[in-house]
Structure 1
């Protein structure tokens, strides 16, 4: 009998921290999370313990902090191996800046095309090459058909690639949409991994997000568990509907029916890509 998703050890590969009391928000940021969106490292650690999550990949948010990574870096330092990070930097970040972040537990840099547009990253290719040389990841969040234009640039940079939230497809266009087909075409070679996450950002239906399931299945078939990851997107900033950690885990469990595949996605692939467990 398959183990319950709640008893299976797992790695959350997309989550954010917001602690404005200790780390005030940067001036002029896109959005300032408040109320139930406040998400301290101490609070998230309790969530992780409740759901059997030994490790998490913290993602620096454009909301709240922009290129200020101090909140995330503090959590990594205090976490004693429990956390790794994806930081946000300016497009002209130097090799020395990247090396400093890597020494503090950062494994890659996030690029949010869905929020800022492709033009904002028109000059990012040199940064991607620096990340490749340092063995760091290029993580991108796209939406709709943006990947159709972006994929050739990404594949040419040589870095390990991470794609957020199923690539945020336009479900009205179906699996044949240019953006989603471009994402599927990035699977050969094994240098790109995709996060099976972010239903609130592209599904048009309520739980269990039935319209998202064909996209999950297609990504799993193309990339395999060795290049798929799971993320909660906790604490669900600017969510359009109620989201809970446990129900999102159940969506993942139903979407990935084989226990061996779930184990690969939840533990083996994050350990290989990000080094979780090596210094625990």
Structure 2
């Protein structure tokens, strides 16, 4: 069965140096090239992957990601950062180069903004070329404030890393409830990823299961995708691919549902071919 890892990052300092507009530094132990990522996929039975420009490291420069997508011959697609007033010729190059969405980091000052005229401009370009809008945030109030914009965006919305809930605040916390309501009422998808970022107990991450189940119920299995978040940038503890995938199998024991999450849904959303 083909399968997609729907969120990973790739860096190769021999091909592209760090950007001055980067949101954070990438440590030597966090580096991983696209070639290494493809090998990781093969080792775990995956066929395709989605590369994300995380703002860290390369900043808003998407050069290496576009090169990696071209070299992967259909196995990779990408989500880029779109700085304000990016030339139309560059947008066309990104579309032709396998970019399928743009990302907004709601809490990084150096990220292209979702709010204001710059965000309106970016979303208009996304509508024109058929991209989705992907959002990443650390705190619930950020997604609550973004909801009016996302609901009117006119493009599919993809939310990173289960919305990164704060476990001590419970499932009833306003930010997570707002995310669940988005799943029930909008053209939105959620990445069942990043559980190592909000777990309190660590691997095997069983304390995150109620949140993942609530997301699947709200969004529906047809609008969920899974991702590893390799190579685990800024992880707070040792993280490995296998336990993250095992957590998905635990929460989604039905093989047909896992096929939707691992292939059918991301293949449709990211326009991937077997």
Report if TM-score (shorter chain) is over 0.5.
Answer: yes
Give the gaps of 5 or more residues in structure 1.
1-7
Q: Which residue of 2 aligns with 1:191?
A: 187
Q: Please state whether the residue corresponding to 1:188 is helix, strand or coil.
A: helix
133-142 or 227-236, larger mean C-alpha shift = 133-142
Give deviations 1:78-107, integer Å, cap 9, x for gaps.
Answer: 011000000012133354432321111000
Instruction: Report the count of equivalent residues.
Output: 271
Residue 31 (structure 2) aligned to one of 19, 35, 38: 38
Residue 216 (structure 2) aligned to one of 205, 216, 220: 220
Q: Which residue of 1 aligns with 2:57?
A: 64
182-191 or 105-114, larger mean C-alpha shift = 182-191
Work out whether residues 101 and 126 of structure 2, in 8 Å CA contact, stay in contact via their aligned partners in 1. yes
Deviation at 1:202, TM superposition (A): 1.7
1:112-127 equivalences in 2 (<5 Å): 112-116=105-109, 120-123=113-116, 124-127=119-122
Q: Which residue of 1 aligns with 2:156?
A: 160
Q: Please state whether the residue corresponding to 2:6 is helix, strand or coil.
A: strand
Q: Which residue of 1 aligns with 2:244?
A: 248
Q: Quick one: distance in 2 between partners of 1:182 and 1:96? A: 37
Deviation at 1:118, TM superposition (A): 9.8
Q: Please state whether the residue corresponding to 2:29 is helix, strand or coil.
A: helix
TM-score by length of 1: 0.91
Deviation at 1:255, TM superposition (A): 1.5
Deviation at 1:117, TM superposition (A): 9.1
Deviation at 1:28, TM superposition (A): 4.8
Work out whether residues 10 and 32 of structure 2, in 8 Å CA contact, stay in contact via their aligned partners in 1. yes
Q: Which residue of 2 aligns with 1:4?
A: none
Moved over 6 A (4+): none
Q: Quick one: distance in 2 between partners of 1:221 and 1:269? A: 16
Structure 1 residues 180 and 119: alpha-carbon distance in aligned structure 2, compared to 1, 3 A threshold: farther
Residue 137 (structure 2) aligned to one of 142, 158, 164: 142
Q: Please state whether the residue corresponding to 2:37 is helix, strand or coil.
A: helix
115-124 or 192-201, larger mean C-alpha shift = 115-124
